[in-house]
Structure 1
């Protein structure tokens, strides 16, 4: 009976990686394995990819594949479903380094001593952008909240939100969404996040609603996520690069 390697535990996954690296070459293995890692439902994995640019880093600290609602983490049990796919698509397009915590057992961005936070610090970026997801319970499903972690950096988050809003208005399926960047009006201010309040880089925490991350029929990314990703890529290019 054939085994589905997607269900392999972490150690077996590592052995598969070594085998494919030896036989098919690192680059091909990296592409195959990376795409599969984001779909895994249970292994706790930190997916780190260093690319041409380290001055901008994009992260997704609470990723799970769509349909997996909860993380094995007491401090942060709610998963940001499919957030890692969006983060990685942006990273690939802009050739920026990325770090995605998949099904993580600790809350990676709340402490500067986690492997997630320390890797970001090692890259020493000028900008850190984190893709999160809100559950549309405390705020509306049409809201995209963007914070830089403090009122002193409010101009930066508002600039990015304004730029993104212009991009969203160009698409029929996205013009109903509101990008809000005024720290004083945000529900998710990011003040408890160690990586977002750190002064070593300019941070942005982007909270995406469920309708931009989840197709209710199959839990995959909705069609609108493609144009959303384009908008985010354009805004990052214009504001941060």
Structure 2
């Protein structure tokens, strides 16, 4: 079974580990499920981040960096230091972790929120958001997409997410609205071309900051 078929599967607890040229940057996706599967088989974290595995894997390809994706997991993978998801990140010993999540555009007014887990590191998340916004603003199709990295202004701060607050690496917790990971409302399938174009800009911004 190829990787995209695994990402489309609703079977529980599929861990996808891919090694690429760079291991100083790692892309992690702890709550993936395919579009149309809004819940995980996990009491700790019932809402899935639909389709985040597709865009997270695309980002890792663009950065040529290692990635780990937890699909339909029965535990909250990034809230446990000894989960196989977290232990794989530890094994790579990255300088930077980029973790991809999804939100429903209900509690946040932004399409994209970027947090580094605390107000202390807001400078990093704000700088990345600025770099993304500079590229996004020049792309007419993404001009209305809102991106915020200011810790005080975002809802999803990730202050209790162990993979984000771990001092062994700088971590970006990136929350995406459905626009940037799902097909049209009520449909199943992979992300739209617009979503992948946004990730082209995110990859360029990350390379600028950490290339």
Question: TM-score of the superposition, structure 2-length normalised?
Answer: 0.95
Residue in structure 2 matched with residue 234 of structure 1 by the alignment? 204
Matched residue, 1:192: 160
Partner of residue 103 from structure 2, selected from 134, 149, 160: 134
Q: Which runs of 5 or more residues in structure 2 are unaligned?
A: none
CA distance in 2, matches of 1:120, 1:234: 22
Taking the aligned partners of 1:148 and 1:199, their CA distance within structure 2 comes to 11
Partner residue in 2 for 1:125 = 94
Larger Rg: 1
Instruction: Tell me which residue corresponds to 1:38.
Output: 7
Q: Deviations over 1:121-164 (max 9, x none)?
A: 11100000001001111113x43100000111111111001101
1:136-194 deviations in Å (ceiling 9; x for gaps)? 11113x43100000111111111001101111112222111121111111110001100
Structure 1 residue 91, shift from structure 2 partner: 1.0
The higher-RCO structure (CA 8 Å, 6+ apart) is 2
Q: Distance in 2 between matches of 1:55 and 1:41?
A: 31
What is the CA–CA distance in structure 1 between the aligned matches of 2:200 and 2:62, rounded to whole Å? Answer: 9
How far apart in 1 are the matches of 2:64 and 2:193? Answer: 23
Deviations 1:12-47 (A, max 9, x none): xxxxxxxxxxxxxxxxxxxx5212111101232111
Matched, 1:157 2:125: yes
Match in the other structure for 1:18? none
Corresponding residue number in structure 2 for 1:55: 24
* TM score, norm. by length of structure 1: 0.84
Report the CA distance between 1:226 and its aligned residue. 2.1
- Aligned partner (choices 179, 192, 200) of residue 211 of structure 1: 179
* Separation in 1, partners of 2:79, 2:204: 28
CA distance in 2, matches of 1:49, 1:69: 25
Partner in structure 1 of residue 37 of structure 2 = 68
CA distance in 2, matches of 1:226, 1:188: 22
The alignment's C-alpha RMSD in Å is 1.2
Give the match for residue 222 of structure 1.
Answer: 192
Name the residue aligned to 2:62.
93
Is the partner of 2:141 in helix, strand or coil?
coil
The question of whether the paired residues in 1 share the 8 Å contact of 2:62 and 2:200 is answered with no
Aligned to 2:202, the other structure's residue is in SS state helix
Match of 1:184, SS state, is: coil
Does residue 77 of the first structure (1) align with residue 46 of the second (2)? yes
How many residue pairs were aligned? Answer: 209
Partner secondary structure for residue 77 of structure 2 = coil
